[in-house]
Amino acid sequence: MEYQDKYYAWTVKVGEKGQFVIPKEARDLFDINPGDTILVLGDSERGLAIPPTRLKDKYIAEIFNQLTSVEEE
Q: How confident is the model at residue 39 (pLDDT cuts 50, 70, 90)?
A: confident
Q: What residue spans of 1-73 are helical by DSSP H?
A: 24-29, 56-72
Domain 2-72 has CATH 2.60.40: no
Pairing between β-strand 47-49 and β-strand 41-43 as defined by DSSP bridges: antiparallel
| Prediction pTM value | 0.65
Where in the chain are the domains?
2-72
What pLDDT score was predicted for residue 10? 92
Q: How confident is the model at residue 46 (pLDDT cuts 50, 70, 90)?
A: confident
Long-range contacts for 57-64 (Cβ within 8 Å, ≥24 apart)?
A: none
**What's the whole-number average pLDDT of the chain?**
84
Amino acid at 71: E
What pLDDT score was predicted for residue 71? 61
What is the torsional sign of CA 48, 41, 57, 65? Answer: positive
% of the chain beyond a pLDDT of 70: 88
CA distance 65 to 73: 13
